[in-house]
Amino acid sequence: MSLLVLPGPVRRVHDALRHRAALQLRDHVAGADATRRADSIWGKTGERWFGPADPIWRVHLDAAMFVAGIRALLLQSLHPLAMAGVDQHSSYREDPWGRLQLTSNFISTTTFGTVPDAERLLARVRGIHRRVHGEFAGVPYRADDPHLLAWVHAAEVDSFLTCFRAFGGGSLTDAEADEYVAQIGFVSMQLGFEGAPTSVAGLQETLEAFRPELRGTAQARSAAHFIAWKPPLALTARPAYLSLVAGAVGTLPAYAREMLGFRTPPGGAAVLRGMGKAGAAGVRWMLSDPRIQADRRVNQAAQAAGHG
């Protein structure tokens, strides 16, 4: 039955359930001050690096990002030094939602926010990176190491693009996909990472070059287990979350699934991707809630940037 012809009482129940789920999702991703954050990102007048016609807007606004974020974390964990930095310096176990909110704010501000706000945030992140350093298995690492930044960036971009193409509500031509890679690479260059790929082919070359360095370390497997099976969620929310995890795992390269200990039978990855598609559709339904739409003032931001 189409939602457009639902009887009034059923429609009210539907809207109430969606609203409750949407607010819970928003609080996890954007925090208790989500409306204030939305005001600071969408409501300001000023120049922006990107506008609604750009592929980066379409990708980063899509519900597929909820699968992509999980996939990115899993894939990034396979570099031992990158994972060591997270394991030794991050509070992802104690405060996973806080970490998610920081990441969400970074992506939103640098994609949709004004240039001054994006530049201030990037300067703050560069300062944090300079303070993160340590040693793993006798090998020193720094968060601002261009080599590690290259891996983190490539794994993230590949995840965002792969999941949009698998689960997104729209599509990208090959030329638009190249443009997306170049646009998100521009942001990374402002963060201090020179030489970011500017095409899908360049992105795949970067990922392949890292293959010999990747390992399913104990830290990586522990993080993957936590992400997949130990989220601090109510039992009622876990099936929906697991569908997002399934989509993330199902779109990982086979070598990554094996390194992280995700065993899938022949054809199993396709089943997982199907679950991910359902999960992304569920998130898209939540994001259609009027309160969330009010926070995401796309037209206002476009006009404020001179793109409307």
Domain boundaries, the chain: 55-105+116-284
The three state secondary structure string of the chain is CCHHHCCHHHHHHHHHHHHHHHHHHHHHHHCCCHHHHHHHHHCCCCCCCCCCCCHHHHHHHCCCHHHHHHHHHHHHCCCHHHHHHHHHHCCCCCCHHHHHHHHHHHHHHHHHCCHHHHHHHHHHHHHHHHHCEEEECCEEEECCCHHHHHHHHHHHHHHHHHHHHHHCCCCCCHHHHHHHHHHHHHHHHHHCCCCCCCCHHHHHHHHHHHHHHCCCCHHHHHHHHHHHHCCCCCHHHHHHHHHHHHHHHHHCCHHHHHHHCCCCCCCHHHHHHHHHHHHHHHHHHHHCCHHHHHHCCHHHHHHHCCCC
- The pLDDT value recorded for residue 129 is 93
- The pLDDT value recorded for residue 76 is 98
- The pLDDT value recorded for residue 2 is 45
- The pLDDT value recorded for residue 4 is 56
In a structure prediction context, what are the per-residue pLDDT tens digits for the chain, which is 308 residues long?
A: 344 566 677 777 777 778 777 777 777 787 777 778 888 898 888 999 999 999 999 999 999 999 999 999 999 999 999 999 999 998 788 888 888 888 999 999 999 999 999 999 999 999 999 999 999 999 999 999 999 999 999 999 999 999 999 999 999 999 999 999 999 999 999 988 888 999 999 999 999 999 999 999 999 999 999 999 998 888 888 999 999 999 999 999 999 999 999 988 888 999 999 999 999 999 998 888 886 776 665 555 555 555 54
State if pTM tops 0.85: yes
